[in-house]
Amino acid sequence: MLFRVKRMAWNVAALMICLVLAIPFIWTVLESLHGADVFAPAFSVFRPTLSNYTFVFFHTQLPRQFLNSLIACGTAMIVSIPVTAMAAYGYSRIRFRGKRLLFFGVLVTQILPATALVIPLYKVWSLGHLFNNLVALGVAYAAFNMALGILLVKNFFDNLPMSLDEAATLDGCSRRQVFWYVLRPLVTPAIAATAVFVFVNAWQDYLLASSLITNTGDFTANVGLYAFKGANTTNWGAILATSVLVSLPSVLMFTAAQRYFVRVVSGGVKG
Amino acid sequence: MPGDPVLETARPGAPLRRGAGLVRAGFPLGALRRGFGGHNIAAAALWIGPSYVIFILIMAFPIVWNIVESFFASSYGKSSFVGLANFRQIVDSGQFGSAFLLTLYWTAGVFIGQFVLGLLLALFFNRRLWISRFIKPLILIPWAIPGIVSSTAWTFLYSQGGLVDQILSPFLKTGPAWLAEPSLVMPAVIVAGTWKGAPFYFLMFLAGLQTIPAEMIEAAKLDGANRWQILTHIELPFLRNLIGLTSALGLIWTANYFDGIYLMTGGGPANDSTTLPIWIYNTAFSNFDLSEASAMSVILLLLVLLIALPYLVGRRGEDAV
């Protein structure tokens, strides 16, 4: 009996902790349902309304900017997945001079902060007339997130026995066929996880998009939200509703792929 | 690979002929084990090349180009070599010291906050609770939402008459302007930054704690160890490597975290929350001084590499290629 009460208490405590930690976000969601008057006393009569959301949808540029974000982040995913998988295969299965050095280079790209690269990228972008190009922005996102993917997928390759390659090669497979028909299906979970993380990381970006996109119509959702916040400082209802909408894709995808996360970051945890 | 007698026999897409390559070339199993032997530079270029094309285009080339440019000053489209003048201007401006100290303040504050909060959460959730499965996503929300959203949410909480003021109303009659008061702005953004990043430490530490054998803890308990002793003598030493990795990544990310401050304060009031990344951004995009901003970027990059080098060198050994 005492044991049960204790167990119950732990669960309740856990729930309380999580709720307290989530307050800033829960608060944002609740207030966004308040209609225009978000500063009404916290626990007065609460009649949820979607008016803020319909306003955002029909009277702001958010739908278009959301689409822009999808284009940039989708590009990042599409570019980085094959490139990441191939590089991971290379580091795991090919022996060549300079491999350690090249792999070290990959680790360096993982710690290069976007803040130190904004100005260099800005210059290269003006050199190549790439401003407002969402695909180019997506390629930049890919570059910043490939290291994580390479580490994760390489790790999966490392855990597949070489005898698989040997057997397939004995059967006459070329390297490309070994990769495509034998190994690729086995590392699909790692590739899927990489895709999710590239997307989520790219979706979080403000810095690159704000300096490489200058045209309001080409803003990503995050930049659009900041601009809207600056121009409509009092329309908190719409600002908060936009915040909730902008969070949805990354929160959903991150929650789904959360268990891969530690493996991706620590890189060394054998799976 | 092209030119490789063993591997070139079967073309991609062609039906697999059993042992074809083997019969023709005499199969070098040893070479395969060592990684196919032979024409490996070509193979490496083919498989690893594409990733390096992107790294070079988006990172190496811009960085090198930027370093070169940092020795030039441009005005009205003409650029002239000025040597270290840009760097001297930065050091002389007097703002470098302040931005550097604020970066340290911010990094130390957020790092300690996230580390402690993440560790406490991990210790709490390192037990079997049926509810964990359903509520864990709640803990991870701050980490998953874009920085602009957490900044907006916190700006809202800190606003006049917002939730923070309401909660503190028994103690403070009128809430201060949290983000406009020089002495309060840094603590305020540090709290928000701690909230945003703590889930990362939580996830890493929890994963680590779960690898500690239960017998070790049991044995210590039988020997009469208390909770604190178990933490300091078993759990933390066991997690030493993980803590090192997490802290190294966390420190670099935090020091360079732009969204967490800029999107709440823009670096203000005055320059009281202008850390190095924000200073660079404002110099380039508010003052339109690209030459100075590029010299700042070079300095920031050097600082990051200096801090990260021990981690990178250590990491190379672990990931042994």
Distance from the Cα of residue A212 to its chain's centroid: 19
Q: Return the pLDDT at B25.
A: 45
3-class DSSP string for B121-136: HHHHHCCCCCCHHHHH
Q: Which of 202-261 (A) contact B at CB < 8 A?
A: 203-207, 211, 222, 225-226, 229, 236, 239-240, 243-244, 246-247, 250-251, 254-255, 258, 261
Looking at the domain assignment, is residue A174 inside a domain?
yes
Is residue A271 a part of any domain in this protein?
Answer: no
Tell which wins on pLDDT, B312 or A69.
A69
Between β-strands B78-81 and B72-75, what pairing exists: parallel, antiparallel or unpaired?
A: antiparallel
For residue A56, being part of any structural domain is answered with no
Name the minimum distance, in Å, from the CA of A22 to any CA of chain B.
6
pLDDT score of A258 more than 80:
no
Total number of domains constituting chain B: 2
pLDDT at B73 over 90: no
Contact B111, B254 (CB under 8 A): yes
Would the pLDDT of A129 be above 90?
A: yes
Res. B279 pLDDT band, cuts 50 70 90: very high
- Percentage of chain A lying above the pLDDT 70 cut: 91
**CATH code assigned at B138:** 1.10.3720.10
Q: According to the model, what pLDDT value does residue B39 have?
A: 57
SS (H, E, C) A183-249: HHHHHHHHHHHHHHHHHHHHHHCCHHHHHHCCCHHHCCHHHHHHHHHHHCCCCHHHHHHHHHHHHHH
Please indicate, yes or no, whether residues A199 and A107 belong to a single structural domain of this protein.
Answer: yes
Question: Cβ–Cβ of B149/A180 closer than 8 Å?
Answer: no
**Rounded distance between C-alpha atoms, residue B127 and residue B191, angstroms:** 27
Mean pLDDT of A259-266: 62
CA closest to A155 among chain B residues: B319
Give the integer Cα–Cα distance in Å for A202 and A223. 13
Contact by Cβ (8 Å): A142, B304: no
Contacting residues for A10 by C-beta, under 8 A, at least 6 apart: B127, B129
Q: Which domain holds residue A11?
A: 2-51
Select from A266, A227, A237, A214 the least CA-distant residue to A62.
A227
Residue B138: list chain A partners with CB under 8 A. 18-19, 21-22
What is the mean pLDDT of the segment spanning A82-111? 92
DSSP B212: S
Q: What are phi and psi of A61, to 5 degrees?
A: -90, 10
| Unique residue bearing structure tokens 């709640």 | B138
Instruction: Work out the average pLDDT over B257-263.
Output: 92
CATH number of the domain within which A189 lies: 1.10.3720.10
- Per the model's pLDDT, the better-predicted residue between B34 and A206 turns out to be A206
Q: Given this model, what pLDDT does residue B23 score?
A: 38
Instruction: Please tell me whether residues A32 and A65 are part of one structural domain.
Output: no
Residue where a domain terminates, one of B71, B86, B101: B86
Torsion angle defined by CA atoms of residues B227, B228, B233 and B239, in that order, rounded to the nearest 10 degrees: 90
What are B123-164's pLDDT values in tens digits? 999 988 888 888 888 898 999 999 999 999 999 999 888 889
Contact criterion met (CB < 8 Å) for A120 and B135 = no
- Which of B155, B156, B157, B311 would you mutate first to test chain A, the one with the most A CBs within 10 A? B156
- On whether both A7 and A128 belong to a single domain, the answer is no
Q: A71 with A180, same domain? A: yes
**What would the mean pLDDT of A30-35 be, rounded to a whole number?**
85
Per the model's pLDDT, the better-predicted residue between B129 and B38 turns out to be B129
DSSP states along B254-266: HHT--HHHHHHHT
pLDDT of residue B5: 39
pLDDT of residue A177: 93
Q: Are residues B44 and B93 in the same domain?
A: no
Mean pLDDT of chain A: 88
* Helices assigned H by DSSP within B75-225: 85-92, 95-125, 132-144, 147-158, 163-168, 185-209, 214-222
pLDDT at residue A72 greater than cutoff 50: yes
CB atoms inside a 10 Å sphere around CB A132: 17
Q: Give chain A's largest Cα–Cα span.
A: 74
Q: Is residue B217 scored above 50 in pLDDT? A: yes
Q: Tell me which H or E stretch contains A67.
A: helix A62-93
Instruction: Look up tokens 């604190």; give the residue.
Output: B228
- Between B256 and A70, residue with greater pLDDT: A70
pLDDT surpasses 70 at B20:
no
Among A200, A245, A206, smallest CA distance to A226 is for A206
| Selected residues 248-277 of chain B with any CB under 8 Å from a CB in chain A | 249, 252-253, 255-256, 258-259, 263, 276-277
Whether residues A73 and A150 share a domain: the answer is yes
Does the pLDDT value for residue A203 go beyond 80? yes
- How far apart, in Å, are the Cα atoms of B244 and each of B107, B109, B236, B238, B251? 16, 18, 11, 12, 10
Burial class (CB in 10 A: 0-12, 13-18, 19+), A269: middle
Count of C-beta atoms within a 10 Å radius of residue B170: 7
Please choose, from the candidates A155, A36, A177, A68, the residue with its C-alpha nearest in 3D space to the C-alpha of residue B10: A177
B138 inside 8 A of chain A by CB = yes
Residue among B22, B253, B281 minimizing CB distance to A170: B22
Burial A197-231 (b: 16+ CB within 10 A, else e): bbbbbbbbbbbbbbbbbeeeebbbbbbbbbebbee
Three-state secondary structure string covering B5-16: CCCCCCCCCCCC
Whether the per-residue pLDDT at B117 is higher than 90: the answer is yes
Would B305 be classed as within a structural domain?
Answer: yes
In B, which residues are within 8 Å of A11 by CB distance?
129-131
Show the tokens assigned to A237.
């209802």
Same domain, B182 and B71: no
> Are B209 and B160 within one domain?
yes
Give the rounded distance of the alpha carbon of B21 from its chain centre. Answer: 47
Supply the pLDDT for residue A36. Answer: 64
- Band (pLDDT 50/70/90 cuts) for residue A45 is low
Amino acid at A114: A
- Non-local (6+) Cβ contacts of A101 within 8 A are none
Rounded percentage of chain B residues whose pLDDT exceeds 90 = 47
Per the structure, the complete domain to which residue B73 belongs is given by 20-86
Give me the pLDDT at residue B211, please.
86
- Residue B249 contacts residue A262 (beta carbons within 8 Å): no
Q: What is the dihedral of CA B281, B282, B285, B288, to 10 degrees?
A: -120
Phi, psi of A225 (to 5 degrees): -65, -45
Q: What is the mean pLDDT of chain B?
A: 84
Residue A65 has pLDDT above 50, yes or no: yes
**pLDDT score for B82:** 87
Query: A98-102, B28-32, B48-52, B103-107: which has the minimum mean pLDDT?
Result: B28-32
Which of A128, A129, A141 shows the shortest CA–CA distance to A75? A141
User: Lowest mean pLDDT: which of A119-123, B191-195, B268-272, B308-312?
Assistant: B308-312
Whether A217 is covered by a domain: the verdict is yes
Strand partners, B78: B75
DSSP conformation class of B224: T
Q: Which residues of A touch B9 (CB under 8 A)?
A: 172, 174
Angle at the Cα of B273 (from B271 to B274), degrees rounded to 5?
A: 65
Q: How far apart are CA B70 and CA B60, in angstroms?
A: 15
Q: Residue B9 falls within a domain, yes or no?
A: no
Report the pLDDT value the prediction gives residue B169, as an integer from 0 to 100.
84
Question: What mean pLDDT do residues A114-122 have?
Answer: 93
The two tokens of residue A102 are 């090249």
**Residues B197-208: tens digit of each pLDDT:** 999 899 889 988
Asked if residue B237 has pLDDT above 50, the reply is: yes
Shortest CA distance to B198 belongs to which of B161, B250, B243, B160? B250
Q: pTM (2 decimals)?
A: 0.86
Quote the number of domains for chain A: 2
The end-to-end CA distance of chain B, in Å, is 21
Q: Is there a single domain that holds both residue A108 and residue A195?
A: yes
